């Protein structure tokens, strides 16, 4: 029996993880859950999975829930300290890191520092602090397993291969809902249209990142740290059907792909059962029903944030944390209709340009860059919003 903590339990990845766990009651037990503020949804999960400890970022919601649960056997914590506490819960084997955004960094780091196996969906953690995270994980021999479908695909393909035989990682991208939009059409995109991803049902932030292709940019940086591959060895190809989840080219020019219907329960289950595989009763891929698999070069002019992410990775130091933080601010401003869709990229680019990159020594350097980028980003946002 493996004991599981889920950080970000009420989200899209969190709920998919709970679906996988409930299919294997003899193998997994939920011991801890964290969420931002939805105490009502968390309460239903507590009744169903009976975790030992939960935490909410929102202190008021935590206090209300604690009162309602009095004597139930589930301890209720709150704030970032509470999330960190749940992430290092002693009686836990695997931490599923499924918070969205920079808020996932400290709890994920805490899980690693306490020797937990980490199944990572929260790509922002690796974007911000990939070097620190990998150093901590390697020095403690803590396995870091990908949940992101592209990285899970590459991880599966690389199983049993030698690192020196890897020539190129090829990340596939669906292109998101706006792939065929002209620049004029993009001027008028509403949050509702940008949120409507053609192949995946995901949380709002990653959905907007998919529409700008920033998600793929963040995944390039994520791949750099997961697979120790330099940016020149990481390519992106548009593959609208999301059937090939990613590919690896080896030195003998053999290209190996991992395929399947788009369903996050597959990579989640792979990470939870690793190094084994467990049967999942889900529909099989019928290629004859799909018909065609297509591939296109991404249009870097139409999606400038992809180039921005490569530049941040190549520049290194504080640049990836700045990229990540200002993007979070810009996406939030778009979703709350303060800025237009096309202004997300402008706010990110302008903030990147006004940043003086520094090298990263400690976690504080990362957090300072994150805070600077949010302040600077808000200045640009207020100019557009005016
Ligand atoms: P989501 O918005 O659906 O859920 C986010 C979860 O995190 C919720 O439980 C929420 O309560 C919690 N949360 C949000 N803000 C928080 C904060 N400030 N502090 C603490 N907790 C907070 O997001 P999602 O789509 O499940 O994505 C989660 C992560 O997984 C992201 O990093 C995303 O890039 C990655 N990811 C998601 C998918 C997908 O299919 N949804 C696929 C690949 C990778
Ligand atoms: Mg992905």
pLDDT at 386 over 80: no
- Measured in Å, residue 363 CA sits from the centre of ligand 2 at 25
CATH code reported for the domain at 316-386: 1.10.1740.10
- Domain layout of the chain by residue ranges: 2-146, 149-263+286-314, 316-386
DSSP-derived 3-state class of residue 246: strand
- 296: DSSP letter: B
Other CB atoms within a 10 A radius of the CB of residue 349 amount to 18
11 lines ligand 1 (CB under 6 A): yes
**Is this prediction's pTM over 0.85?**
yes
Mean pLDDT (the chain) is 97
Kind of pairing, strands 144-146 and 94-97? unpaired
250 near 162, Cβ under 8 Å?
A: no
Q: How far is CA 92 from the centre of its chain?
A: 22
- Candidate from 98, 105, 245 with most ligand 1 atoms within 8 A of CB, to mutate: 98
Give me the pLDDT at residue 219, please. 99
Burial of 100 (0-12, 13-18, 19+ CB in 10 A): buried
CA gap 255, 203 in Å, rounded = 32
For the residues 45-68, what does the mean pLDDT come to? 97
Judged by DSSP in three states, 247 sits in strand
Percent of the chain clearing pLDDT 70 (strictly above): 100
pLDDT, position 198: 87
Q: Do domains 2-146 and 316-386 have the same CATH topology?
A: no
Predicted confidence (pLDDT) at residue 153 exceeds the cutoff of 90: yes
Query: Whose alpha carbon is nearest atom 39 of ligand 1?
Result: 202
Instruction: Looking at the CA of 123, name the nearest ligand.
Output: 1
Backbone angles phi, psi at 236, to 5 degrees: -125, 135
Q: How is domain 2-146 classified at the CATH fold level?
A: Rossmann fold (3.40.50)
């Amino acid at each position: 029996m493996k004991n599981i903590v889920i950080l970000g339990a009420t989200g899209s990845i969190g709920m998919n993880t709970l679906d996988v766990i409930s299919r294997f009651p003899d193998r997994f037990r939920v011991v801890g859950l964290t969420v931002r503020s939805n105490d009502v949804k968390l309460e239903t999960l507590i009744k169903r999975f009976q975790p030992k400890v939960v935490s909410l970022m929102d202190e008021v919601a935590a206090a209300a829930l604690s009162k309602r649960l009095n004597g139930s056997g589930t301890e209720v914590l709150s704030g970032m300290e509470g999330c960190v506490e749940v992430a290092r819960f002693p009686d836990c084997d695997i931490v599923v890191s499924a918070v969205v955004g920079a808020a996932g960094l400290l709890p994920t780091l805490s899980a690693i520092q306490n020797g937990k196996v980490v199944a990572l969906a929260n790509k922002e953690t690796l974007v911000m602090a990939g070097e620190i995270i990998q150093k901590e994980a390697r020095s403690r021999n803590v396995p870091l397993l990908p949940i992101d479908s592209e990285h899970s695909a590459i991880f599966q393909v690389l199983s049993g291969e030698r690192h020196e035989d890897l020539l190129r990682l090829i990340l596939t991208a669906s292109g998101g809902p706006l792939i065929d939009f002209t620049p004029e059409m993009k001027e008028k995109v509403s949050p509702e249209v940008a949120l409507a991803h053609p192949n995946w049902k995901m949380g709002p932030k990653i959905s907007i990142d998919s529409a700008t292709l920033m998600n793929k940019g963040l995944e390039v940086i994520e791949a750099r740290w997961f697979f120790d591959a330099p940016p020149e060895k990481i390519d992106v190809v548009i593959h609208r059907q999301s059937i090939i989840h990613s590919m690896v080219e080896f030195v003998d020019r053999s290209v190996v792909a991992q395929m399947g219907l788009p369903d996050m329960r597959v990579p989640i289950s792979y990470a939870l059962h690793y190094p084994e595989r467990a049967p999942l009763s889900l529909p099989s891929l019928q290629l004859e029903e799909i018909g065609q698999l297509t591939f296109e070069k991404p249009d870097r002019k139409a999606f400038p944030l992809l180039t921005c992410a490569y530049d941040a990775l190549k520049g290194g130091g504080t640049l990836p944390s700045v990229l990540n933080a200002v993007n979070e601010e810009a996406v939030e401003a778009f979703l709350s209709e303060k800025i237009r869709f096309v202004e997300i990229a402008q706010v990110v680019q302008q903030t990147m340009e006004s940043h003086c990159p520094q090298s990263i020594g400690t976690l504080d350097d990362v957090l300072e860059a994150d805070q600077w980028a949010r302040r600077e980003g808000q200045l640009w946002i207020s100019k557009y919003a005016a």
